[in-house]
Amino acid sequence: MASVLALIAGFMAYTQMGSASAVNSSAAEESEELPTSDTPDFGENVKIFDPGTSAATIQAAVDEAFDAQENNPTAQFGDQRYAFLFKPGTYGRVWANLGFYTSVAGLGLNPDDVTINGAINVDSGWNYGDTANATQNFWRSVENLAIAPEDGTNRWAVSQAAPMRRVHVKGNLTLAPSNQDNGQGYASGGYLADSQVDGTVSSGSQQQWYTRDSDIGAWEGGVWNMTYSGVKGAPANAFPDKPHTTLETTPTTREKPYLYVDSDDKYQVFVPALQHDSSGTSWPDTKGTSIPMSKFYVAKPGDSAARINAALEQGLNLFFTPGTYELDETVKVTRPDTVVTGIGFPTLIPTAGNTALSVADVDGVSVSGLTFDAGTTNSDTLMTVGTAGSHTDHAENPASIQDVFFRIGSSVQGKATTTLAVNSDDTIIDHIWAWRADHGGAATGWDVNTGDTGLLVNGDDVLATGLFVEHYQKDEVVWNGDRGETIFFQNEKPYDVPDQKSWMNGSQNGYAAYKVADDVTEHQLWGGGSYAFFNSNPDVKLDHSFEVPDKEGVSLHSILTVSLGDVGTISNVVNNTGGAVPNPAGNTTPRNVVSYP
């Protein structure tokens, strides 16, 4: 007995010592001055090339990343992350196929500082179990370079969360997969911004697409919802005879921050300035501010939330490198004008039911290039901006959220009540995809990966340009703030509703895709599509996809509903207007409302 008691006492002393060591370690981590550099190490998942690198070396690197994913059953929700960065110069023949979690970017101050001869290519035919279409070509990106297409046309057949930004295509651009002609080459993208296409953009089988502040030679094609704002060369507004919704300018923009190398081969992040009523590309004379990398903490996988918060408390910005980050507490951004950005789809996962990232109600914070996965313990929110109930005017220097993606159910059986809550007035939401997963690396299901709402907007004067929100279980977008505006909205209702009684909003069948609160006095939406595919139970009905108060200042333009494959019913487009889908004509025919009211 004595020996047992001694062992127990020894074990308790050991564990107490270990606990104390952990506390001391955490305290030391928070108090240490974290190192920075203008020539940082971005980690093993980032490959940096210069014009002296042989084309064969570059080709081998991009092939190694892509080939490992081709027909790989785990790649879509794997932990691989890649960023391929090109210093200024011209590069010989490179044919870069982009798979999941792969980013290609130039490191010049302007896109034409880096020219890739060959292709930055995304196509169908690679996906395990479904090689016939491109509807799952998610989580890849290209930005800040020029492409001289080998055959005159670059292919970018992507779906959600696959932005092309700040790119000069010296030829044509096709957004359709190469097997389109056999009737199976579907795609469901996408987003193009601050880019120039010298030739023709062909959208082919793309169901919807948003293009913002670009210059194009011409545009051909369109299926349901093709929306343009500030695009020189865009087709004329013609909805619904043709599926084009065209605005001459974008009300407010601030282009996404980007990494570049200066003439001394040191790294900086350029933060573009705020623009109003913009049109065409922001470059080559982009207005803005350069921040040296010595003002950033370069985060790497394995960094704790405490260490990342220590960097913020040190007054640093954050630069996330490719990988996954498990966070047991909230990363808190409190300083005005803080830049939080990432490359290669760094993925933040809350592990304790916490919010992964919160931004205080301050001016000018920029968050971009991040992916959030809900953890297995339910989080009330994954990301918040501002303080609920606060209405400080940020019009002169708003917060911005760009290329930020949210997932409930993916590699883990995640849960979150709301993925993104925007409380700060004047916030710019520029391209997000909030997705409650219909499939994943871990099993998904109605009671498994639960999530109510993708986007909750409480702030006034919030603008969303490029809003993708899908499969949530209650109202998917809830807009409580006044004078809000959305340009382009894409939605699919949840596939997996088991029966009608499980999906009732009081006496109403189902929940809206886009709900504007009853007390809102002014709101606008341009170009919105909502689709149903109730394959778990085709008898399920939704009363309407868009729900808004009938007020003079609230107006919706170019909105539609579709029953995909005529599986499931949406009884009206907006409120009690628009008629039902399946449309009696069949063939997945939409119901269109040109303007409401």
Q: What is the pLDDT of residues 467-488, one digit of tens each?
A: 999 999 999 999 999 999 999 9
Distance CA 293, CA 268 (A): 5
| CA gap 413, 438 in Å, rounded | 12
Residue 19 has pLDDT above 80, yes or no: no
On whether the CB atoms of residues 441 and 78 are closer than 8 A, the answer is yes
pLDDT reported for residue 28: 42
pLDDT band at 586 (very low <50, low <70, confident <90, very high): confident
Q: Alpha helix (H) ranges present in 227-340?
A: 305-313
Higher pLDDT, 353 or 185: 353
CB 30 within 8 A of CB 309: yes
Residue 31 confidence (pLDDT)? 57
d(CA 258, CA 295): 14
In one-letter notation, the amino acid at residue 405 is F
Q: How far is CA 282 from the centre of its chain?
A: 21
At residue 132 the predicted structure's pLDDT band, cuts being 50, 70 and 90, is confident
Separation between Cα atoms, residue 433 and residue 58, nearest integer Å: 31
End-to-end CA distance of the chain: 83
Counting Cα atoms < 13 Å in the Cβ hemisphere of 107 gives: 23
225-232 and 244-247 strand pairing:
parallel
Q: What is d(CA 298, CA 318) in angstroms, rounded to the nearest whole number?
A: 6
Say how far apart CA 331 and CA 312 lie, in whole Å. Answer: 9
Query: How much is the pLDDT for 175?
Result: 97
Q: What digits encode the pLDDT tens for the residues 108-129? A: 999 999 999 999 999 998 989 8
- Longest distance between any two alpha carbons in the chain, whole Å: 89
pLDDT, tens only, 501-526: 999 999 999 999 999 999 999 999 99
Q: Given 143, 470, 492, 547, which residue is catalytic?
A: 492
Residue with tokens 């977008």: 477
Tell me, what's the pLDDT at 9?
35
| Structure letter (DSSP) for residue 287 | -
Given this model, what pLDDT does residue 587 score?
83
Angle subtended by helix axes 2-31 and 305-313, to nearest 10 = 30
How many CB atoms are located within 10 Å of the residue 68 CB?
12
Confidence of residue 16 (pLDDT cuts 50, 70, 90): very low
What pLDDT does 568 receive? Answer: 95
Residue 322, φ and ψ in degrees, nearest 5 = -60, 140
DSSP state of 235: P
Lookup: tokens for 227: 């929306």
**Catalytic site includes residue 492:** yes
> Letter for the amino acid at 27?
A
369 and 139 Cβ atoms separated by less than 8 Å: no
SS3 at position 492: strand
- Tell me the HSE value of 577 on the side-chain side, using a 13 A CA sphere: 16
The Cα–Cα gap between 458 and 435 comes to: 20
Rounded Cα distance, 180 and 68, in Å: 25
Residue-level pLDDT at 32 = 77
Mean pLDDT, range 51-80, rounded to an integer: 96
| 136-151 as b/e: b if 16+ CB within 10 A | bbbbbbbbbbbbbbee
pLDDT of residue 11: 31
pLDDT above 50 for 18 = no
Q: What sign does the CA torsion over 245, 246, 252, 258 have? A: positive
Judged against a pLDDT cut of 50, whether residue 49 lies above it is answered with: yes
Cross-strand pairs, 416: 379
Identify which of 446, 452, 458 has the alpha carbon closest to the alpha carbon of residue 495: 446
Average pLDDT of span 309-321:
98
* Residues 251, 382, 306, 35, CA torsion sign: negative
Exposure class string for 561-575: b at 16+ Cβ within 10 A, else e:
bbbbebbbbbbbbbb
Cα–Cα separations (whole angstroms), residue 412 to 79, 137, 209, 436, 497:
12, 20, 29, 12, 21
The mean pLDDT value of the chain amounts to: 94
Does residue 1 register a pLDDT over 70?
no
Mean predicted confidence (pLDDT) in 141-165: 98
User: What number of CA atoms fall less than 13 Å from residue 253's CA on the CB side?
Assistant: 27
Read off the pTM: 0.94
555 alpha-carbon distance from chain centroid: 26
Note the pLDDT of residue 422.
98
- Classify strands 275-278 and 250-253 as parallel, antiparallel or unpaired: antiparallel
Residue 402: both structure tokens together:
């760009």
Q: List the structure tokens of 557.
A: 């333009």
Mean pLDDT across 89-103: 97
Strand partners, 530: 491, 561
The tokens for 574 are 């907006």
Half-sphere exposure of 526 (CA within 13 A, CB side): 24
pLDDT computed for residue 129 by the predictor:
84
| DSSP characters over 40-55 | ----TTEEEE-TTS-H
